[in-house]
Structure 1
Amino acid sequence: MNGRAVARVQGSTACWPGLSFSEALARLRTAQEPAWGPIQAEHVQLCPQNSGALDEATLAQLQQESPGTQFRLHANVRIGSRRITWNAAQAHKPEAQGDFQRWAALSRWLNAPAYTLHAGRRDQASLPRLWDNIRRLEQWFGCPVGVEGHYTTPEDAFLLSTWAEYALLLEAGVSFVVDLSHLNIVAHQSGGWEPALVRELLAHPKCIEIHLSGNDGRQDHHQALRDPPEWAPFLTSANGTAVWFTEGNQLR
């Protein structure tokens, strides 16, 4: 990879699953990933893989520990003692809205530049409902809310898991995440990459995050990358405002 790519790879607390947010942040300060070099902490994504719950006091402590970092929330990050599994396809459900409003309040408290979450399952919403849910969440969060697509499974369970649906995402007018490890699975399960589509997704101004990790094309292993993967050349098409996050597991 070129120097521009290495310098832009930011850290997510998902790189240290099971550790507290504070412990993950401490490890991030000196972390490296072979494919990218030192992991940066200009932006840090707070993720559901970590132990402990987030509230204003915890966020204030993280800001004290890393005053130069702009934090943002990702997906169903922990905010209490019970496990929450809401996704974008469920955001219209009355029983989910209290939790989304709490995530929105914490995101606004951080003055976060974005919030991102997974699309969800086909039995939870249609694609038009999904787009409407993203627009509703943006009103609550007061910042861009990006939907993260999935990958192909034998039961075809997930929305945004085929090349055709990723093409529809470009037309939807909503913000989104490109997870290249997810697209690696789509490519292996469908018989190949769609290079023009991938480059268009990465270049699109509505692409607000790019997620990076390794897998074997069958399961989402979140492997730390030792060498640049086969999809690395696509990154040259990335728009200049998308933030790149590694999700490679540093504990393996």
Structure 2
Amino acid sequence: MNIKFSKYQGAGNDFILIDHRMSPLKNIDNELVAQLCHRRFGIGADGLMFLLDHEDYDFEMVYYNADGKPGSMCGNGGRCIVAFAKHLGVFDNETNFLAVDGPHYAKITAEGNWVELQMIDVEQVEQDGEAFVLNTGSPHYVAQVENLASLDVFNQGKAIRNNETYQANGINVNFVEPKPDRLFVRTFERGVEDETYACGTGVTAVAMAMAKHQQQIGKVETPIEVLGGKLQVNFNYDGQKFTDVFLCGPAEKVFDGELDV
């Protein structure tokens, strides 16, 4: 059968998107998902998403990691599926959709390449030594470092992700270096099992961890630099809880294609 798909990227975080509302593909084959995401034997992506109908929301987002397994919330994936849904005519400029971590609101510019996605509120932030651990829809470990550009993110991130504390459920590992006007962030993602060019829930976790560390109270707007470009995280912080959390950045279509499966 032929399955139409689109490939999108948000700050270098890339995804395969399939409109599953009328798709003949009825059963999700995890091995097929992994093959499609493979960068040598497939299309190549950090994850794959299906857009489904939902009676209470504009659409539902179902996300799979590059290893073929169902994933937790993906922030940049959420922004990309919003751009995809707008392209399909599902909504105009504002939408409410359902993801694995609950409902999300998003808005998109008229040009269709800048998406502001509301993330979940966060109250619980723990520490592991000097690092911070929190869940922004996906679990994240945040460590502040120096000379991040030359850091061995793959091996250091893999070691933390697979240590005795986190190996059972896995964790995404973020390294952050504060700059005068932004935070520079690099992330090792579970499910991809490699460094990615960007991680939306990751930069959200980093912005929160640094706001807590620096006691930035009130409305906080944090510019972020990642390997794939620029993002921004905005929220309100009262010293205990992060609310009105928005992950903002570009979401652009790379190409359309058809799968013969």
TM-score by length of 1: 0.29
TM-score (structure 2 length as normaliser): 0.28
Which structure: greater strand fraction? Answer: 2
